[in-house]
């Protein structure tokens, strides 16, 4: 694998900070996870640390905040951290290029096409000629899945027949609220906030995935780490998976925990409740092998529409993309 000069410069900056990381305390194994500072995974990790699920499982989880996804990816590839959160497309591409990354499913929550409650848009076909805001860029997998479904079932080429506007998630949501866009495709938590403020789901990326061959909800994101690290630290990876499960289970059953998280989530009332409910819907509920099999099906759909820019030269999802070792 070749790391660009630009990435090397980033690593040089990160290396200074990494050198200051404290060593593991006795009795626990330090696990360093890099996350986006305001990402939704922070909710689960805050719960994990608040209730000391990490130390109860023999690890000391250190959460390292990053400003952007690119920075977390670079740090992961350089071995400066032990774990990040990313999607299986990126992991598969890295494995295809010889990097031993793998993932454990974290969330099946995905974005959706959102329209105002009273909008006359009722089906994908109604998006023809409309102004659609899309977060995540032209290669966002939710956008590609919805495009694939529109082409197959409606004979509709959305990029060719509609006015597509790409932008950052907060901007896309703001423009939707202001009525400057007819419909928007945004990340799941922005969609949840829109739902609480007079919008409805036209079609979710999960609906598109099932229509295109998935047998159930497919994890969009997972905890990503190196095979080598997991093999050398079996107790640490088992401890993290167990701690993560305890955090997830608490968030699934305790409304009080969501009230505690409200200042971090920056939501209250109907908005907090909708975020809570959509988060709970996104908790993986089936065996990893089933998740991996469906991801493989969707990979072929995405590779066809997204091409080499999206998946590189690999026509199939790389074996081992989903880590299927079971905690003991």
Q: What is the pLDDT of residues 182-223, one digit of tens each?
A: 999 999 999 999 999 999 999 999 999 999 999 999 999 999
Quick one: 253 and 306 in the same domain? yes
Q: What is the model's pLDDT at position 279?
A: 98
Quick one: 101 and 224 in the same domain? yes
Cβ-based burial of 69 (10 A; exposed 0-12, middle 13-18, buried ≥19): middle
Instruction: Place 119 in a pLDDT band, splitting at 50, 70 and 90.
Output: very high
Quick check: 296 and 211 in contact, CB under 8 A?
A: no
* 5 pLDDT higher than 50: no
Report yes or no on 319 lying in a domain: no
Residue with the larger pLDDT of the pair 228 and 7: 228
Express as a percent the part of the chain with pLDDT over 90: 88
Report yes or no on 326 lying in a domain: no
Task: Identify the CA nearest to 84 among candidates 93, 72, 95.
Answer: 72
Q: How far apart are CA 175 and CA 78, in angstroms?
A: 38
Least confident of 36-40, 45-49, 107-111, 284-288: 36-40
Quick one: 204 and 223 in the same domain? no
Please, which residues have CB within 8 angstroms of residue 101's CB and are 6 or more apart in sequence? 76, 91, 94, 95, 224, 225, 226, 227
* 326 pLDDT higher than 50: yes
Instruction: Place 303 in a pLDDT band, splitting at 50, 70 and 90.
Output: very high
Report yes or no on 322 lying in a domain: no
Quick one: 134 and 253 in the same domain? no
Q: How far apart are CA 218 and CA 181, in angstroms?
A: 29
Q: How far apart are CA 258 and CA 254, in angstroms?
A: 7
Quick check: 214 and 294 in contact, CB under 8 A?
A: yes
Residue showing tokens 């997998």:
141
Task: Identify the CA nearest to 195 among candidates 83, 276, 294, 315.
Answer: 276
Report yes or no on 191 lying in a domain: yes
179, 211, 243 - which closes a domain: 211
* 6 pLDDT higher than 90: no
Report yes or no on 316 lying in a domain: no
Element (H, E) at 213: none
* 3-state secondary structure at position 200: strand
Q: β-pairing, 199-204 with 101-107? A: unpaired
Q: How many domains does the chain have?
A: 2
Task: List, edge to edge, every strand of the sheet that includes 199-204.
Answer: 163-167, 131-135, 183-186, 112-116, 199-204
Report yes or no on 245 lying in a domain: yes
Quick one: 20 and 140 in the same domain? no
Quick one: 245 and 205 in the same domain? no
Q: How far apart are CA 284 and CA 274, in angstroms?
A: 18
Taking only the tens place, the pLDDT of each residue in 10-66 is 444 344 333 333 344 446 899 999 999 889 999 999 999 999 999 999 999 999 999
Quick one: 58 and 85 in the same domain? yes
Quick one: 133 and 270 in the same domain? no
Domain extent, residue 39, equals: 5-108+219-311
Quick one: 44 and 123 in the same domain? no
177, 211, 245 - which closes a domain: 211
Whole-angstrom CA distances from 148 to 62, 144, 208 are 40, 6, 8
Average pLDDT of the chain to the nearest whole number: 91
Alpha carbon distance, N-terminus to C-terminus of the chain: 33
Quick one: 95 and 140 in the same domain? no
Report yes or no on 323 lying in a domain: no
Quick one: 122 and 89 in the same domain? no
CATH label of the domain that carries residue 285: 3.40.190.10
Q: How far apart are CA 216 and CA 132, in angstroms?
A: 27
Report yes or no on 261 lying in a domain: yes
* 3-state secondary structure at position 174: helix
Quick one: 145 and 282 in the same domain? no
Q: What is the DSSP string of 43-109?
A: HHHHHHHHTTHHHHTTEEEEEEEESSHHHHHHHHHHTSSSEEEE-HHHHHHHHHTT--EEEEEEE--
172, 195, 211 - which closes a domain: 211
């Amino acid at each position: 694998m070749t790391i660009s000069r630009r990435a090397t410069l980033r690593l040089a900056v990160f290396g200074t900070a990494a050198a200051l990381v404290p060593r593991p305390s006795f009795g626990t194994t330090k696990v360093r996870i890099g996350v986006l500072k305001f990402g939704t995974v922070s909710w689960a990790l805050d719960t994990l640390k608040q209730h000391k699920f990490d130390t109860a499982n023999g690890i000391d989880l250190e959460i390292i905040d990053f400003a952007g996804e690119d920075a977390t990816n670079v740090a992961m590839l350089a071995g400066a951290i032990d774990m990040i959160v990313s999607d299986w497309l990126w992991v598969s591409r890295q494995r295809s290029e010889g990097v031993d990354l793998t993932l454990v499913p974290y969330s099946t929550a995905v974005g959706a096409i959102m329209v105002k409650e009273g909008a006359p848009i009722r089906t994908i076909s109604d998006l023809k000629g409309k102004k659609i805001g899309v977060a995540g860029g032209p290669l966002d997998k939710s956008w590609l899945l919805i495009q694939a479904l529109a082409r197959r079932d409606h004979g509709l080429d959305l990029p060719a027949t509609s006015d597509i506007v790409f932008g950052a998630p907060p901007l896309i949501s703001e423009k939707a609220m202001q009525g400057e866009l007819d419909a928007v495709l945004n990340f799941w938590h922005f969609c949840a906030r829109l739902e609480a403020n007079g919008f409805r789901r036209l079609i979710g990326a999960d609906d598109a995935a099932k229509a295109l061959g998935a047998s159930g909800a497919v994890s969009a994101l997972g905890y990503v780490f190196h095979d080598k690290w997991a093999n050398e630290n079996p107790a640490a990876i088992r401890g993290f998976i167990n701690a993560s499960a305890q955090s997830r289970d608490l968030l699934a059953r305790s409304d009080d925990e969501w009230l505690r998280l409200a200042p971090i989530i920056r939501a209250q009332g109907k908005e907090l409740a909708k975020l809570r409910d959509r988060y709970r819907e996104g908790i993986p509920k089936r065996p990893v092998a089933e998740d991996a099999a469906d991801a493989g099906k969707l990979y072929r759909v995405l590779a066809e529409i997204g091409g080499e820019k999206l998946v590189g030269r690999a026509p199939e999802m790389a074996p081992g993309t989903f880590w299927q070792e079971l905690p003991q």
